[in-house]
Amino acid sequence: MRVLITGASGGIGAALARALAAEGHFLLLQGRDEERLRALQFTLPESQCQIALADLTVEEDRQRLCNTAIAFGIDVLCNNAGINQFGAFTSTDVARIVEVNVTATMQLTQELLPQLLQQSRPRLIIIGSAFGAIGFPGYTAYCASKFALRGFAESLSRECADSPLRVYYLSPRATATTMNSSRVNALNESLGTATDTPEVVAERVLQALAGDVRRRQIGAVEAFQSTLNAIAPSIVDRALRGKLNTIKKHFKEIENV
pTM confidence score: 0.92
The answer to whether 215 and 208 have CB atoms below 8 angstroms apart is no
State the catalytic residue, choosing from 139, 142, 168, 169: 142
Q: Quick one: DSSP state of residue 5?
A: E
Q: Does residue 142 have an active-site annotation?
A: yes
pLDDT digits (tens, 9 = 90+) for 230-245: 999 999 999 999 999 9
Residues 201, 43, 20, CA angle at the centre, nearest 5°?
40
Distance CA 142, CA 140 (A): 6
**pLDDT by residue (tens digit) across 147-194?**
999 999 999 999 999 999 999 999 998 888 877 778 888 888 888 888
